[in-house]
Amino acid sequence: MAATTLLRAALPSIPVVNQLPGVRKTGGDPSSLHEVRSATVARDHVTSYAAVCGFPVKDVAPLTFPHVLAFPLHMAVLTSPEFPFPAIGTVHLANTITQHRPVAVGETLLLEVHTSAVRAHPKGRTIDFLATAMVGEETVWESTSTYLRRGRDNPDAEVPNRPDHVVPGRVTWRLGGDVGRRYAAVSGDHNPIHLYPLTAKALGFPRQIAHGMWSLARCVAALENRLPDAVTVDAAFKKPIFLPGTVAFGQDPAEDGIAFALTSPTSAAPHVVGRSRPVS
């Protein structure tokens, strides 16, 4: 996230400034927002990403890697005046990734991101960011990122089915205070809540928290040798992971896939709850 993008993300949250032309959110139907870019899966980028997230280095990209190539498109939408909510304070609630086949290092992807209409949620409103990656006419990868904007309670709102089986943690991972900064360097996501205690405190957190997509990637890396080439991984992000800290990872067979979770090793409260299933 370049400094100019970070500034565009922050300005709509600042009183008075957020009413200026070009900063003020104009509302409207966000489902009309649409961004496209091409990006090559570069070996050095894949190697750096794999090292931060715990993947082995291969000639194909990790399952979660195309998300970082699509992230600039997410930010272009989030910072658009036509997007109804400020980027700062919009919470990444859940993510679904479908890989139709492994993406090879060196391939060039045509990436596209568009958004759904706003939906009511028990804790406010949600919106989906729908991303696709194509090689020529072939769709090789897709994701749906669901974001929550907290607001007026809607107790009768329907909630999409999300993974809810909290697998007990069996392996503990000690996470350093620099995890957010290391992931920011390879993902481009420099949201201040992930970087330093001071920047996180400015936004209401006692200290920095791990990126949701890092925590999902770390779980997928732990399952990497058990996942088929064509697979869907669903994940719901629960309680934040404060850095430095310790988490517990667990996995269990579930129907035709794998259920997994990251939890607190002391309270067993969930941070990430997920599942995989093969794509036929």
Structural domains in the chain (count): 1
Burial 191-207 (b: 16+ CB within 10 A, else e): bbbbbbeebbeeeebeb
Which of 116, 9, 27 is closest to 72 using CA atoms?
9
Q: What is the structure's pLDDT at 26?
A: 60
Residue 20 lies in a domain: no
Q: What is the structure's pLDDT at 78?
A: 87
Intervals of the chain under pLDDT 70: 1-29
Q: What is the structure's pLDDT at 25?
A: 53
In contact, 277 and 256? CB cutoff 8 Å: yes
Residue 233 lies in a domain: yes
Range of the structural domain that residue 85 is part of: 3-13+29-278
What is the per-residue pLDDT across 67-80, written as a single tens digit (0 to 9) for each? 999 999 999 998 88
Q: What is the structure's pLDDT at 21?
A: 40
Q: What is the structure's pLDDT at 49?
A: 98
Residue 47 lies in a domain: yes
CATH of the domain at 191: 3.10.129.10
C-beta atoms surrounding 110 within 10 Å: 15
Q: What does the alpha-carbon distance between residue 138 and residue 230 come to, in Å, rounded to a whole number? A: 14
Residue 21 lies in a domain: no
Residue 23 lies in a domain: no
Q: What is the structure's pLDDT at 86?
A: 82
- Residues of the chain with pLDDT > 90, as a percent, come to 70
Q: What is the structure's pLDDT at 16?
A: 35
